[in-house]
Homo-oligomer: A and B are copies of this chain.
Amino acid sequence: MEMNVTDLACTRGGMRVLEGVSFDVPSGRALVLRGPNGIGKTTLLRTLAGLQPADAGSVTPGPEAIAYASHADGNKAVLTVAENLTFWARLHGTSDIRPALRDFNLEALETRPAGSLSAGQKRRLGLARMAVTGRPIWLFDEPTVSLDTDSVALFAAAVDRHLGAGGSAIVATHIDLGLEGETLELAPFRAEAPEDHHDAFHEAFL
């Protein structure tokens, strides 16, 4: 599914962080977001996912086509791997967790409580969740943190398969994943420190 972002502006902690961000992600392609720490990658992804309102600009399609994987995984330590995945699947109205388990090499861990997993295994479980949402657009915020090289390859393969099936993906990352698609450097979109617009209602105030 295609994604269109036009002239987006995002705010974080009361401060304008990014301005004038525009891009298209055609279906079957990925977009890699890059930029130094604190530039606003997380802020942008949260805005796209509908978790915070955009200051200006438009995003199509809306949040109901988007699955978002943030820094945190949202899995419960006392539930098993299969129980966690099944929960997300049922919540999104899908039911088959087998392919997701297979894609992320979680089959051997199926009955382990999520709390007893290592950091990398936890991360794999968090990423597997995206596959059971059944949604066409995937957003990832630094997905490869604490993954070893084999798991990074698993992840890239899963995203490739998703792209091949007509989906699309936006990935904020510092490493090279070899995905089909473009790279967007966020530094040029950094919001200017606001001038004193005495006429503008809110600017004068912030």
The interface of chain A, by Cβ under 8 A from chain B, is 37-38, 118-120, 146, 148
Closest to A116 in B: B13
Complex interface: chain B residues within 8 A of A38 (CB): 118
Complex interface: chain B residues within 8 A of A120 (CB): 37
User: How far apart sit A41 and B119, CA to CA, in the bound complex (Å)?
Assistant: 15
Residue of A37, A118, A120, A146 with most partner-chain B CB within 10 A: A37
User: How far apart sit A37 and B148, CA to CA, in the bound complex (Å)?
Assistant: 9
User: How far apart sit A37 and B147, CA to CA, in the bound complex (Å)?
Assistant: 10
When the two chains form the complex, which single residue of B37, B118, B146 contacts A146, counting CB atoms closer than 8 Å? Answer: B37
A49 CB → nearest B CB, Å: 22
A102 CB → nearest B CB, Å: 24
Complex interface: chain B residues within 8 A of A37 (CB): 118-120, 146, 148
User: How far apart sit A119 and B120, CA to CA, in the bound complex (Å)?
Assistant: 23
User: How far apart sit A38 and B120, CA to CA, in the bound complex (Å)?
Assistant: 10
User: How far apart sit A146 and B38, CA to CA, in the bound complex (Å)?
Assistant: 11
User: How far apart sit A146 and B119, CA to CA, in the bound complex (Å)?
Assistant: 18
A115 CB → nearest B CB, Å: 11
Closest to A118 in B: B38
A–B pairs, 6, beta carbons within 8 Å = A37-B118, A37-B119, A37-B120, A37-B146, A37-B148, A38-B118
Closest to A36 in B: B148
A39 CB → nearest B CB, Å: 12
User: How far apart sit A154 and B119, CA to CA, in the bound complex (Å)?
Assistant: 30
Complex interface: chain B residues within 8 A of A118 (CB): 37-38
User: How far apart sit A194 and B174, CA to CA, in the bound complex (Å)?
Assistant: 40
Complex interface: chain B residues within 8 A of A146 (CB): 37
